[in-house]
Amino acid sequence: MGAAGSKLEKALGDQFPEGERYFGLENFGNTCYCNSVLQALYFCVPFREQLLEYYSNNKNLADADENLLTCLADLFMQDAHEFLNYLLNELVDILEKEASTAKSDQETSSPTEKIANGPTSVHANGVKKEPLVTWVHKNFQGILTNETKCLRCETVTARDETFLDLSLDIEQNSSITSCLKNFSSTETLNAEDKFFCDKCCSLQEAQKRMKIKKPPHILVIHLKRFKYIEQLGRYKKLSYRVVFPLELKLSNTVEDADTEYSLFAVVVHVGSGPNHGHYVSLVKSHNHWLFFDDENVEMIDESAVQTFFGSAQEYSSNTDHGYILFYERVSNGSTS
């Protein structure tokens, strides 16, 4: 591990960023999915800084209860996306429990109802209250709005939901921009899928679409590369070529104002199928792109990122495909 760091230091020479260190993570026999996500999260600068601040503020507390370490067995899902969701939601749970304990003298702690991609606090009488907003939420959480328009009375019903990452369906020779447009495309609800309109008091044909109401500071995009094929009776990896830009303009928002993002990390799945393979990560730090493969770390050219878009043909020797993308919202024209 140290050798990898020193080799990189020699390669960068005077350009090596002051106070920064680059280390690989050892593979303990099928933990590459974990290593790749941890590298991407470490180089998510606001997440890293607040995590270190949390540690600094709590390291002297006499807390005998372990949290993430005691759940190590649950981590072996062997999928980077599942691990990322588990990790973020587990951190949220820890922060919420600590906040609840801190104010237990003022009020009785409320039960927590878990929903996909985020918790919602509920009072004992069933009335919802605003959930605690942790620094994990401030970095990763966005808001989607699900709009349904009745085609008879034209009443629009909107329902908001939070997300920590966006899972996008992919197509061959497509791009993140086109995948996002498909994500927000209009769907017609008819036949057995008719919508119950409260105003009409009956099932009606309707149009439904999903839009981003509040973009997050860190936009995590999960490309759905593993699809269940009924004819095969199993999941198959989609090696489709999906172009992900270094700079992304998010235009499918409620406000219709473009939100600019900069790519800073990519988790890559290496292999031809979902039940076997390997995970590596690409990370941008101090304007340098780095390649992390467990304990091995090396610098790569920015142009090398495009080699992980995917394969233009179904059968290709290239099995290294971008799987999870990490974008940071650009403010004042700068990013890490």
> SS3 letters for 17-28?
CCCCCCCCCCCC
Instruction: Pull the structure tokens for residue 220.
Output: 């995590």
pLDDT at residue number 10: 60
Nearest to 326 by CA among 255, 271, 269, 261: 261
pLDDT of the chain, 336 residues: tens digit per residue: 334 445 666 676 667 676 666 778 788 877 888 889 888 988 888 887 787 676 666 655 545 455 552 333 333 345 889 889 888 998 898 888 888 887 775 665 455 444 445 544 444 455 556 678 899 999 999 999 999 999 999 999 999 999 999 999 999 999 999 999 999 888 999 989 999 999 999 999 999 999 999 999 999 999 999 988 888 878 888 999 999 999 999 886 766 577 899 999 999 998 877 766 788 999 999 999 999 988 888 999 999 999 999 988 877 778 899 999 999 999 754 444
Token pair of 230 as six digits? 């009924």
Q: Active site includes 276?
A: no
Contacts for 181 with CB less than 8 Å, ≥ 6 apart: 252
- The active-site residue, picked from 222, 278, 288, 321, is 278
Per the residue annotation, which of 32, 34, 44, 150 is the catalytic one?
32
Per-residue DSSP letter, 240: B
Contact 245, 179 (CB under 8 A): no
Task: Report which of 215, 89, 209, 85 is spatially closest to residue 143, judged by C-alpha positions.
Answer: 215
Instruction: Classify residue 107 as exposed, middle or buried by CB count within 10 Å of its CB (0-12, 13-18, 19+).
Output: exposed
Which pTM was predicted?
A: 0.75
The pLDDT of residue 64 is: 42
Residue 285 has phi, psi (to 5 degrees) of -140, 125
Query: What own/partner pairs with CB < 8 Å and gap ≥ 24 does 107-115 have?
Result: 114/89, 115/161
Collapsing DSSP to helix, strand or coil, 85 comes out as helix
Give how far the C-alpha of residue 36 lies from the chain's centroid of Cα atoms, to the nearest Å.
Answer: 13
pLDDT for position 114 = 43
Give the separation between CA 169 and CA 167, rounded to whole angstroms: 7
58: part of which helix (H) or strand (E)? helix 45-58
Question: Treating both helix axes as pointing N-terminal to C-terminal, what angle do 32-42 and 45-58 enclose, rounded to 10 degrees?
Answer: 90
Q: Are 329 and 259 in contact (CB under 8 A)?
A: yes
Question: What long-range pairs does 157-160 form, CB within 8 A, spacing at least 24?
Answer: 157/197, 157/198, 160/213
Side-chain-side CA neighbours of 95 within 13 Å: the count stands at 21
32 is catalytic: yes
pLDDT (0 to 100) of residue 275: 65
| 142 class by beta-carbon count within 10 Å (0-12 exposed, 13-18 middle, 19+ buried) | buried
Question: Which 3 state secondary structure label does DSSP give 87?
Answer: helix
